[in-house]
A and B are shown apart, each in its own frame.
Chain A
Amino acid sequence: MENKNNLALNIENLSVKYKVYEGTLEVIPGLSMHVEQAERVGLIGEAGCGKTTVLKSAAAVLHSPPAIVRKDAIEVCGVSVDGKKGVRSVRRNVSMIFQDPSSSLNPTLKISTQMTDILKSQFPGRKKAEYRQMMLDALDNVSMPAPERVLGSYPVQLSGGMRQRVCIAMALMKDTNLMLADEPTTALDVTIEEQILDLLDKLVREKKKSLVLVSHALGAIRKITDRVYVMYAGNVVEVGKTREVFEHPRHPYTIGLLAATPKLTGSGIADGIAGDIPSYINPPKGCRFASRCPRCTPECLEAPPVLESVDGREDWMVACHHAGEEAMA
């Protein structure tokens, strides 16, 4: 990290706990990540590993309580997200796309009303016709068929793919630096998913935006991101260039995850990873992956591993006590 002010997003030592009826869930013990300007970063991990919690803390939309957030810093474009001023800065600099396009649009308002609301906050005091033209341009940007009709429709009248296009158009209308996308294609069919991913890829490149794409679909991450963070049970276990990590994963969890994904080559399916994510109430003292790990040794049960660079490289880090060892068969 050369100059921190140049980062689109900088999270240092974030820890999040949730107070629930059963006790305290220690979801994220201490996580750091950064996104550079015009960089596209992926965040992968399975259900319940804390991906969305990280994203919500970055966008300052995490409800507290029940969440208890401790951190050294969360900065969006060099401005801390704390306090009223910080939140206002986040609102200006961050736009977000959610997983389920049908629940992130208001079902009782027409698309045009919802889009105008954003425009009014961003460009106050313009004429109605101007707003309308801006909306049409925005919809055109996301290759929406029949934008005029869409503006006059309610969300239920649109298909899933069209709704997600509307959400992306709305996220792009705000001239923000950082775009956070939380599983934007999970609810969509595969042919529609490809169109939406291509669209996101194109727009983010064209407008030189930074993107954080959260997903459990490994293929989607590989398709449109430069760098990837692999998360397991609230920890980042591996960071690196997406292509490199996917080709030669180093952490046993990443290896297992990639092997378990069915391939087009028809080479059969590896046996997956035995066991489940550990409970977040009193999580294991050492490595959180230890109970499922083929390389587990007594050392792993004692101390949690920290992120260390691989082969002396700055841009590839793995959190494993046995990172140097070659993958076991």
Chain B
Amino acid sequence: MSENVIQIENLTKQFKTKFGTLTAVDNVSFNIKRGENFGLVGESGSGKSTIGSMIVGTYGPTSGSITFQDDIDISRSSKQREPALKQQIQLVFQDPGGSLNPRKTIRQILSVPVELYAEKRLTTAEVEKRIKDILEQVGLPAHYLDKYPRAIGGGEKQLVCVARALAANPQFIVLDEPTSALDVSIQAKITNKLIELQRQNSLSYLFITHNLCLVRNMCDRLAVMYLGSICEYADTAEFFENPRHPYTQMLLASIPVLSDVEEELKPQKVKSVGEIPSPLNKPKGCPFNPRCPFKKDICTQEVPQMKEVSPGHYACCHCL
């Protein structure tokens, strides 16, 4: 069995806009191991969702490669991929209300992937049984099958979206901000369910979010993105104990927390200043240099290279 589910190398995605070329993802490399929950964190416009979209094949990259299970090249849009591959990689969106068809019942919504990805033609009874199994797995009662999405709560809608992704029997799921549209009390339930499902079905996740606290409690490893590039990537525990990049320190320091115990865990020395520049007009050199408190001359000249600061902990900064 292969070790990596997804391997990304020198991935770049550019969009042509009216105002010039927008580099949404700039020379990004990382890998996601089998059975791992990998967190991708960043503020808005940092390119994290673009990476997710390229993995599921909404569009192909401008350059660089994405490899699935060590030997299958998936660096192109899903239209040009093998049909069997589409089943393996599924996606859950941020807004559960907008990603379910309001005119279809939950049964109709779930039966599509079940029938589409079945190995042979299924009878109605078989489809029904499979749908009920999946619904039970995500923890929804069977009588929900005849409801329309509008009749159930936001958290339950998101569970239906997760069920729809599971119905394809995938290896790998991209979760694009799955809980940020939900209330805290419901978010907890969904994340715990996601962790449970991952164990049961030996899935791998790419968990895209802007909530660092959530990543702390959920992911095995994470990468932090800023303006299209990864600035730090490490094991979760190591990352939160010992953040090395000035941006990640600033990010951690600005989380509003709930207790003094957490307050002490935050890096103290870096204060948040400045704004995120437009990705259309990136600063020269290190993308973070206009906001960085440790800026040197070289930072405005050269783009820093990724360095291994301790085993498995990579950061991208001239000061390290």
Contact = CB atoms under 8 A, between A and B. Distances in A.
Nearest to A224: B256
A267 B217 contact: yes
B256 A263 contact: no
Nearest to B213: A262
A267 B184 CA distance: 16
Residue among B183, B240, B261, B265 with the highest chain A CB neighbour number at 10 A: B183
Contact of A264 (B184, B185, B188, B213): B213
A195 B270 CA distance: 12
Interface in B196-216: 210-214, 216
Interface in A210-263: 216-220, 222-223, 246-247, 256-263
A265 interface: yes
A82 interface: no
A324 to B, nearest CB: 24
Give me the 3 closest cross-chain CB pairs, A-B, nearest first: A219-B256, A272-B188, A194-B254
B275 interface: yes
14 contacts: A191-B272, A218-B256, A247-B259, A260-B187, A262-B188, A262-B217, A264-B257, A264-B265, A265-B216, A266-B237, A267-B217, A269-B191, A269-B217, A276-B186
Given A190-B210, A191-B251, A269-B217, 17 more contacts: A46-B185, A190-B255, A191-B254, A194-B254, A216-B184, A219-B256, A261-B213, A262-B213, A262-B214, A262-B216, A262-B218, A263-B217, A264-B212, A264-B257, A264-B265, A273-B186, A276-B153
Contact of B275 (A192, A247, A260): A192
Query: Main SS of the interface on chain B?
Result: helix
Interface in B250-286: 250-259, 261-262, 265-266, 272-273, 275-276
A246 B262 CA distance: 13
For chain B, the bracket of interface size reads 35 or more
Contacts of A317: none
Interface string B209-241: 011111011100000000000000000110010
Interface in B104-155: 153, 155
A5 to B, nearest CB: 35
A253 to B, nearest CB: 9
Interface string A4-45: 000000000000000000000000000000000000000000
A115 interface: no
A263 B189 contact: no
A4 B237 CA distance: 52
A246 B192 contact: no
B272 A274 contact: no
Contacts of B256: 193-194, 197, 217-220, 222-223
A220 B240 CA distance: 21
B52 to A, nearest CB: 18
Nearest to B262: A264
Contacts of B273: 195
